[in-house]
Structure 1
């Protein structure tokens, strides 16, 4: 929200048209403030993805209990499983199955 420096009215926005840049203008006095010349990008900053640490390690998977679950990727019928409470406490846990042959993990809510 911008206010007029001369009369204090709330400035209104006018879309760019006919080669004129977008601007704020005062509906009661002749004050006009162009928007485009005031915005300058000085330096583009690349976004760096934060590395996420694994909650379950390979040692945990090696010691995890096994069950019969068919892998969607390779069709193998043995998988290690573990359960994690992802949602609120009144919701059921999420079960993760990791294939013993190819290592692909799938979740079941």
Structure 2
């Protein structure tokens, strides 16, 4: 992507817009034109963002209460729970669970 140096809008490729019928990069809002005299390729490898843990990671589960419920993965009878407001205020809170079994630690949410 190339941007106009005068108004910073995105430049579009227009075939035959330049002098002699050559292709140009053209701004749609101002009269800026940049003739394309030779093929050019630019590749930028974007750095991926790290995925944020929605539930806050292990620290968020440090001081939460537990409840008697069955883990769907290991069938352990106790799980930690946390309520988080994910949607608008008129929607109910979402309840997230984490298995109390230290070997499992499976996370799930209430349907």
Give the TM interval when normalised to the shorter protein. Answer: 0.5 to 0.7
Paired residues, number: 84
Q: Which runs of 5+ in 1 are unaligned?
A: 1-22
1:23-62 to structure 2, matched below 5 A, reads 24=15, 31=21, 33=23, 38-41=39-42, 43-50=43-50, 52=52, 56=56, 58=58, 60-62=60-62
- Tell me which residue corresponds to 1:88: 88
Matched position secondary structure for 2:89: coil
Which structure: larger Rg?
1
TM score, norm. by length of structure 1: 0.55
Cα root mean square deviation, aligned? 3.3
Runs of 4+ in 1 over 6 A off after TM superposition: none
Structure 2 residues without counterparts, runs of 5 or longer: 1-13, 26-37
Aligned to 1:7: none
